[in-house]
């Protein structure tokens, strides 16, 4: 049997795929808002990289991975151009921004939590950084097109990232294999996010609003 990739390689792959997917979500939204090529690429890179940069700065991993490893910037740029030139194909998906956002959310939450734990963070701060990693790019993306960020109006958005981080921390505490835990956590966050939108699940809001 072929050897399984080590955990570090898996998490790097999840981080890079998350960058690409979040970049596609940002670029697709930019195309919908009729931005030009420069605007599409800027929104794509903001969505793809902002969360990871914030995470790395907070845990002291400087300079951030996005500026130390060309693959992050390349993935973000490619996603922007892909959204610009192939948005018609992407839009054939059901709610493409939602699907891409959900996938990126799960991948970034897992990668963020694991990286924070690797840098010696306690479980609770690691969970918070995972949520920041997963939600940060989406917040910047939405603000750039003058939208209220999804994390502030769709509570299941942050809750899905929180679920992924909790699974990662629980797996570590129980001594479970890291690769299956990482994959399960990312899938759980993605499915929760998609189901919450399809079924209209929301956290409670203030009475009368």
pLDDT > 70: percent of the chain: 89
pLDDT bin (cut points 50, 70, 90) of residue 204 is low
pLDDT of 8 strictly over 90? no
> What CA–CA distance (Å, rounded) separates 174 from 135?
27
- As a whole number, the mean pLDDT across the chain is 86
pLDDT value at position 157? Answer: 80
pLDDT value at position 155? Answer: 62
- Averaged over 61-88, what is the pLDDT? 91
At 16-51, the pLDDT tens digits run: 888 998 898 899 889 989 999 999 999 999 999 999
pLDDT value at position 93? Answer: 67
Residue 191's alpha-carbon distances to 44, 146, 151, 160, 186, in angstroms, are 23, 27, 17, 8, 9
pLDDT value at position 203? Answer: 65
At 153-177, the pLDDT tens digits run: 766 788 899 999 999 999 999 999 9
pLDDT > 90: percent of the chain: 45
**Cα–Cα–Cα angle for 60, 105, 95, rounded to 5 degrees:** 150
> What CA–CA distance (Å, rounded) separates 142 from 148?
7
Domain ranges for the chain, please list them: 7-198
120: left (phi over 0), alpha (psi -120 to 50) or beta: left
> What CA–CA distance (Å, rounded) separates 201 from 24?
25
- Give the burial string for 64-88 (b: 16+ CB within 10 Å, else e): bbbeeeeebeebbbbbbebbbeebe
Q: Which H, E and C letters describe 28-79, residue by residue?
A: HHHHHCCCCHHHHHHHHHHHHHHHHHHHHHHHCCCCCHHHHCHHHHHHHHHH
pLDDT value at position 154? Answer: 61
Regarding pTM above 0.85, the answer is no
């Amino acid at each position: 049997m072929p050897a399984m990739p080590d955990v570090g390689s898996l998490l790097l792959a999840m981080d890079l795929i998350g960058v690409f997917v979040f970049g596609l979500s940002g670029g697709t939204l930019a195309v919908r808002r009729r931005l030009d090529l420069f605007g599409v690429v800027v929104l794509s890179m903001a969505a793809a990289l902002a969360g990871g940069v914030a995470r790395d700065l907070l845990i002291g991993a400087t300079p951030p991975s996005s500026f130390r490893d060309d693959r992050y910037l390349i993935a973000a740029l490619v996603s922007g151009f892909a959204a610009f030139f192939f948005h018609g194909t992407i839009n054939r998906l059901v709610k493409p921004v939602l699907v891409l956002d959900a996938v990126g959310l799960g991948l970034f939450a897992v990668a963020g939590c694991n990286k924070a734990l690797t840098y010696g963070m306690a479980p609770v701060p690691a969970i918070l950084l995972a949520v920041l990693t997963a939600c940060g790019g989406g917040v910047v993306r939405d603000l750039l097109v003058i939208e209220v960020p999804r994390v502030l109006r769709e509570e299941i958005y942050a809750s899905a990232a929180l679920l992924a981080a909790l699974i990662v921390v629980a797996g570590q505490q129980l001594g479970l294999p890291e690769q299956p835990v990482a994959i399960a956590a990312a899938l759980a966050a993605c499915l929760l996010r998609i189901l919450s939108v399809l079924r209209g699940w929301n956290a409670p809001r203030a009475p009368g609003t």
